[in-house]
């Protein structure tokens, strides 16, 4: 069996400055990425052509032969799956915005810190599928009534300019929803810029958001425009807003109240026209009661709240999402197609999904790598999911509402699978354990899609 499920991500960097290339290569390789480099655009394109399997392209905008924008255009047509980050050394704010409009996922202004690079690379690779240009790949998959209601709300609010707070556990799809709001808004032709407020220390976050002038602090060897300016006319998505320091909370409040801000090291007052979408996976009301989050900021941010429910509260979405992630994997590689076996489907349905959709996405990628035949079997799923079968299924009366029919089906499935396991696949015994007639059990096994050989292996 192929156990190579911890594949290293491969990155191609194109930049005409040798020291930048070697700095980036070293930074990326120390963080566990594989990195190839090219000193000009043509060489970079040749490498993309000859060596498939890059997970990310980082390219400078200004190159001696062809521009980074052309590379962006070519790669967008030929490799629509490949996320691109641009390096904007001497680039103007207009060319940075152009790159973002053309589908670059992010930009790194020069000079950069390793922290900025690694956070941009991490975001680009891990959220790449939700961010990849081409709406097809930003598809939001759902079947549950609760998600249908969320999406109805999203389409209603998209066209407005209201500030939106997206709440929900980690991995539920908050950023995907924020992007959907942007791409259905009147600002959709302008940049969508995402900043993870929780990942950056206070000083760095301030200059990321508001920019800095040359000489503002040690290392500020060039002016940085800041994300609020680059996002002007578009949407700024601030993730993990609950982790912002009190000082940053005050600065953010100022932009929301007056549309004004000042770059670090400057007393200039700049204005910006940005639609703000923030997200958090912590409870801001609780943070407010502990004086960790400003009440005035909370009410400014929470003009409209979109709550994305955890996956365990919308079991109807599990199988459509699993199929979606599986078919996406199939689209990436030329290999025989592969289906989800009914026994694996039962496991996915009864698991609690603490990591939500992201965990399911990763599980399906792993299963695709491990799968040897044309079906994903339980052994291709992470071990923790198998042991969850022994726990009672989760029963979760919640404010989001439930689908009683699918919930009851899941519970029934769970008990039948466990009875079959306990009786080592002997159906007469399993039926007796469940107080059912054997024929009733067989009919239920059939209609619930439980694998015929459950318990025998």
Ligand X SMILES: Nc1ncnc2c1ncn2[C@@H]1O[C@H](COP(=O)(O)OP(=O)(O)OP(=O)(O)O)[C@@H](O)[C@H]1O
Residues in contact with ligand X by the rule CB under 6 A: 127, 129-130, 140-142, 168, 170-176, 239, 281, 321, 357-358, 361
Eight-state DSSP code of residue 9: P
What is the Cβ-side half-sphere exposure of residue 268, based on CA atoms within 13 angstroms? Answer: 11
- For the CB of residue 241, give the shortest distance to Mg ion in the complex, in Å: 11
What is the Cβ-side half-sphere exposure of residue 331, based on CA atoms within 13 angstroms? Answer: 12
Q: Are 322 and 359 in contact (CB under 8 A)?
A: no
Number of residues that bind Mg ion (CB under 5 A): 2
Q: By CB under 5 A, tell whether 361 contacts Mg ion.
A: no
Eight-state DSSP code of residue 130: H
The region of 24-32, 182-190, 223-231, 232-240 touching Mg ion under the rule CB under 5 A is 232-240
Q: Which does 293 bind (CB under 5 to 8 A by kind): ligand X, Mg ion, none?
A: none
Toward ligand X, which CB reaches closer, 71 or 178?
178
- For the CB of residue 330, give the shortest distance to ligand X in the complex, in Å: 16
Q: Are 312 and 355 in contact (CB under 8 A)?
A: no
Toward ligand X, which CB reaches closer, 127 or 417?
127
Toward ligand X, which CB reaches closer, 358 or 403?
358
Nearest residue (beta carbon) to Mg ion: 175
- For the CB of residue 10, give the shortest distance to ligand X in the complex, in Å: 19
- For the CB of residue 116, give the shortest distance to ligand X in the complex, in Å: 18
Q: Are 225 and 88 in contact (CB under 8 A)?
A: no
Strand partners, 376: 340
Q: Which does 141 bind (CB under 5 to 8 A by kind): ligand X, Mg ion, none?
A: ligand X
Angle at 399 between CA 394 and CA 404, to 5 degrees: 50
Angle at 280 between CA 279 and CA 285, to 5 degrees: 120
Toward ligand X, which CB reaches closer, 259 or 320?
320
The region of 59-67, 175-183, 270-278, 432-440 touching Mg ion under the rule CB under 5 A is 175-183
Instruction: Quote the tokens at residue 427.
Output: 């159906």
- For the CB of residue 178, give the shortest distance to ligand X in the complex, in Å: 8
Q: How far apart are CA 185 and CA 304, in angstroms?
A: 15
Toward ligand X, which CB reaches closer, 306 or 385?
306
Q: Which does 353 bind (CB under 5 to 8 A by kind): Mg ion, ligand X, none?
A: none
Q: Which does 309 bind (CB under 5 to 8 A by kind): ligand X, Mg ion, none?
A: none
Q: Which does 100 bind (CB under 5 to 8 A by kind): ligand X, Mg ion, none?
A: none
Instruction: Quote the tokens at residue 48.
Output: 């993309």
Residue partners of 435: CB distance under 8 A and separation at least 6: none
Toward Mg ion, which CB reaches closer, 239 or 359?
239
Q: Is the Cα torsion angle 411, 417, 419, 422 positive or negative in sign?
A: negative
Nearest alpha carbon to residue 302 among 233, 245, 256: 256
Q: How far apart are CA 75 and CA 252, in angstroms?
A: 36
Q: Which does 197 bind (CB under 5 to 8 A by kind): ligand X, Mg ion, none?
A: none
Q: Which does 357 bind (CB under 5 to 8 A by kind): ligand X, Mg ion, none?
A: ligand X
Q: Are 371 and 338 in contact (CB under 8 A)?
A: yes
Selected from 55, 206, 239, 380, the binder of Mg ion by CB under 5 A is 239
Selected from 175, 316, 359, 400, the binder of Mg ion by CB under 5 A is 175
Query: Contact positions toward Mg ion, by CB under 5 A?
Result: 175, 239
């Amino acid at each position: 069996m192929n156990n190579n499920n911890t594949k290293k991500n491969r990155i191609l960097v194109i930049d005409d400055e040798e020291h930048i290339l070697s700095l980036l290569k070293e930074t990326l390789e120390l963080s566990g990425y594989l990195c190839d480099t090219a000193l000009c655009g043509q060489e970079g394109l040749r490498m993309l052509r000859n060596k498939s399997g890059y997970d990310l392209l980082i390219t400078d905008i200004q190159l001696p032969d062809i521009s980074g924008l052309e590379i962006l255009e070519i790669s967008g047509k030929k490799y629509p799956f490949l996320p691109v980050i641009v390096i904007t050394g001497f680039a103007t704010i207009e060319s940075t915005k152009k790159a973002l409009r053309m589908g670059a996922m992010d930009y790194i202004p020069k000079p950069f810190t390793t922290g900025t690079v690694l956070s941009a690379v991490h975001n680009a690779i891990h959220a790449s599928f939700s961010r990849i240009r081409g709406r097809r790949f930003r598809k939001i998959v759902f079947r549950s009534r609760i998600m249908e209601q969320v999406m109805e709300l999203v389409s209603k609010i998209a066209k407005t300019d209201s500030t939106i707070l997206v709440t929900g556990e980690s991995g539920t799809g908050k950023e995907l929803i924020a992007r959907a709001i942007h791409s259905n808004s009147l600002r959709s032709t302008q940049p969508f810029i995402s900043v993870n407020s929780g990942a950056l220390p206070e000083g760095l976050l301030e200059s990321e958001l508001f920019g800095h002038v040359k000489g503002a602090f040690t290392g500020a060897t060039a002016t940085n425009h800041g994300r609020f300016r680059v996002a002007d006319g578009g949407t700024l998505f601030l993730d993990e807003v609950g982790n912002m320091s009190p000082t940053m909370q005050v600065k953010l409040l100022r932009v929301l109240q007056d549309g004004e801000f000042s770059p670090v090291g400057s007393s200039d007052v700049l204005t910006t026209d940005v639609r703000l979408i923030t997200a958090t996976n912590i409870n801001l009301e609780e943070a407010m009661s502990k004086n960790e989050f400003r009440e005035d900021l909370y009410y400014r941010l929470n003009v409209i709240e979109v709550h994305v429910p955890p996956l365990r509260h919308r079991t109807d979405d599990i199988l459509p999402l699993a199929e979606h992630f599986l078919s996406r994997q199939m689209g990436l590689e030329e290999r025989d197609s592969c289906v989800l076996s009914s026994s694996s489907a039962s496991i996915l349905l009864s698991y609690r999904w603490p990591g939500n959709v992201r965990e399911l996405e990763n599980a399906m990628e792993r299963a695709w790598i491990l799968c040897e035949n044309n079906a994903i079997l339980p052994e291709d799923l992470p071990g923790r999911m198998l042991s969850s079968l022994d726990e009672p299924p989760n029963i979760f009366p919640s404010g989001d509402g439930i689908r009683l029919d699918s919930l009851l089906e899941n519970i029934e499935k769970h008990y039948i699978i466990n009875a079959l396991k306990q009786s080592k696949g002997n159906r007469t015994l399993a039926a007796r354990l469940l107080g059912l007639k054997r024929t009733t059990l067989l009919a239920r096994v059939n209609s619930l899609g439980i694998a015929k050989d459950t318990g025998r292996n």
